[in-house]
Chain A
Amino acid sequence: QPALTQPASVSGSPGQSITISCTGTSNYVGDFMYVSWYQHHPGKAPRLLIYAVDKRPSGVSSRFSGSKSGNTASLTISGLQAEDEGDYYCCSFAISTNFVFGGGTRLTVL
């Protein structure tokens, strides 16, 4: 069963940069090139931040960037702001189960 593993929590101070990792176990399509990242503030609609590993939709701040190395994708947030606090999820397309989400990472801005 494919799975995506994220750290449960990360934290950083305003102005700093943080990175959230997302490691896939197996059976991901396209050498893990179908990774997307979402920001979720409780009670609000999740928001697409990154698609296809490193592409930003229009309207998303350049402070958000994505990358990957092998089966680990990463989301980096630079110049942390208080409004960045929330939950972050990675997602990828797997052969047997279609879409799989990571367990989510809670970002705390200190």
Chain B
Amino acid sequence: QVQLQESGPGLVKASETLSLNCTVSGGSISSYYWTWVRQPPGKGLEWIGYIYYNGRADYNPSLKSRVAISIDTSKNHFSLRLTSVTAADTAVYYCARCRDASGYLGLDPWGRGTLVTVSS
């Protein structure tokens, strides 16, 4: 079965760029929409954006100016870059698979998440 695993630095300095990878195992990344979601401490989930296997991406308007999601089908992974980070970007970052563009079929499966702390 498909499994997702997030990886990347757990500590990023304010004003710098957060970069995370999500490796997909047990299935091909060459289909579906690959998604990033985050959860700040003590708060709820926030959709960051997703990328289709052909490279077409869409983002949360509140983050659009700072976020980029890319995909590497040869390595079966996709990546998140978030620029100019502040303390408000401290969160657990999750990657997930979305089987259709509008989420009708839900997000499934998810990775376990990785905590990224923005330090001053």
Point out the residues of chain A lying under 8 angstroms from B60, CB to CB: 97-99
In chain A, positions 58-91 with a C-beta closer than 8 Å to chain B are 89, 91
Min CB–CB distance A5 → chain B (angstroms) = 11
- Which listed residue (A30, A44, A48) contacts B106, Cβ 8 A? A48
Residues of chain B whose beta carbon lies under 8 Å from any beta carbon of chain A: 4, 37, 44-47, 49, 58, 60-62, 94, 96, 102-113
Give the interface size bracket for A toward B: 20 to 34
Given contacts A45-B94, A89-B44, contact A57 B103 (CB under 8 A): no
Please give the residue numbers on chain A whose beta carbons come within 8 Å of chain B beta carbons, in ascending order: 29-30, 33-34, 36, 38, 43-48, 50-52, 57, 89, 91-93, 96-104
Chain A nearest CB from B92 CB (Å) reads 9
Residues of B close to A36: CB separation below 8 A: 103, 106-107
CB <8 Å contact, A101 and B111: no
A45-B111, A46-B110, A57-B108 as given contacts; A101 in contact with B103, CB under 8 Å: no
The answer on a CB contact under 8 Å between B110 and A47 is: yes
Q: Across the interface, do B104 and A98 meet the contact criterion of CB distance under 8 Å?
A: no
